[in-house]
Amino acid sequence: MLEARLQKRYARSSESAGFELNVQFQAGAGTTVLFGPSGSGKSLTLELIAGFVKPDAGRILLNDRLLFDSGTAVFLAPQKRECGYLFQKPALFPHMTLRENLAFAATKLPKLERYRKVNQLLESFRLTELAGRKPNEVSGGQRQRCSIARSLVVEPAMLLLDEPTVGLDTTLRHEFYEILARVHNEFSVPVLLVTHDLEEAFLLADQMLVLLDGKIAQAGTPREILKQPASAGVANLLGLFNLLPAEIKQLDPGNNRSKLRWNAIELEGPYYPARLLGDKVTVCVRRDEIAVSPKMGKAEKGELVLSLEASAETARTALLHFAGGLIVEIPLEEFAENRHHSEWTLRFPTTTLRIL
């Protein structure tokens, strides 16, 4: 279990706008993902935990071992932290063969134990036949495997991964995810992984920490975060939501109903406790939760008709841009059949309208 409270400040200079990181979190067994946009302080958080950079203030505890404490002036060198670290590139020592890379990491082990451990890891990561080659003589995926194997030689208490799949193609990415799952199952090493890729975060995270502007904006499981983003910033970052500025026009706790007005359009949501009539709120609704179909005949009650302004297609879905900046996501096939329609009927299921 990792418990961290970290503060680090970089003053404004002629070259940078200045930055302040102030985070507090726990990371237990399994994979914890630090998710956030570029410049939010994700990598810096990892560097502070690894001991590459010294925090201004705070405290880091890893399995009840104190790695850093500004109060008592404890600052363990990276060598003593037992944190394996994987960088954006494999960082294998280019002048050593793959076997030498692993053996070098095992320098402190007795000779026989070193030999056994290196062979076992080479075998386990399917590198035995390539062991005599230099890093530049093997493929990107093999380098990545060797890099993970090397970090496990010293039996780290935690693995810190700084965007390890940046620059890898889809196949190598999935190979990496499989390896990570094996690291998890066979070696039981907790992982703290930094990414700005939402799919990767959802695929790997047991626990997710959303970092925005040097602060933790939300913590929870990926499902929890997706279900209820804590703020407009988090919802924007996830990139799956419409954020609609609205006003509460009616509150009906008896029937668990409220009415909201957005852009002169009336929307029906559930009852919002602790809100008052006339409150200006931001309504958050997922793009794929809005029911949409081409307009056929007259709109029924609770439906609104909007004209399609633009559309964009991804590999699996189509993004429909409507008047007022509303974006709806539907399966690609569904859109392909109806792309010629200009008027569409939209319906917001009551429970999908969350207030931030």
For another protein, the binding residues (CB under 8 A) are 50-52, 77-85, 87, 89, 91, 93-95, 104-105, 107-108, 150-151, 153-154, 160
Nearer to another protein, 109 or 319 (CB): 109
* Buried-exposed string 14-52: b where 16+ CB fall within 10 A, e elsewhere: eeeeebebbbebebeeebbbbbbeeebbbbbbbbbbbbe
In the complex, minimum distance from the CB of residue 91 to another protein, in angstroms, rounded to a whole number: 4
Q: Are 260 and 277 in contact (CB under 8 A)?
A: no
Nearer to another protein, 161 or 180 (CB): 161
Nearer to another protein, 84 or 269 (CB): 84
In the complex, minimum distance from the CB of residue 273 to another protein, in angstroms, rounded to a whole number: 48
In the complex, minimum distance from the CB of residue 88 to another protein, in angstroms, rounded to a whole number: 9
Nearer to another protein, 189 or 225 (CB): 189
Distance linking the first and last C-alpha atoms of the chain: 31
In the complex, minimum distance from the CB of residue 39 to another protein, in angstroms, rounded to a whole number: 20
Three-class secondary structure assignment of 55-93: CCEEEEEECCEEEEECCCCEECCHHHCCEEEECCCCCCC
Query: Are β-strands 191-195 and 158-162 bridged in parallel, bridged antiparallel, or unpaired?
Result: parallel
Nearer to another protein, 84 or 229 (CB): 84
In the complex, minimum distance from the CB of residue 253 to another protein, in angstroms, rounded to a whole number: 56
Residues ≥6 apart with Cβ < 8 Å to 303:
345, 346, 347
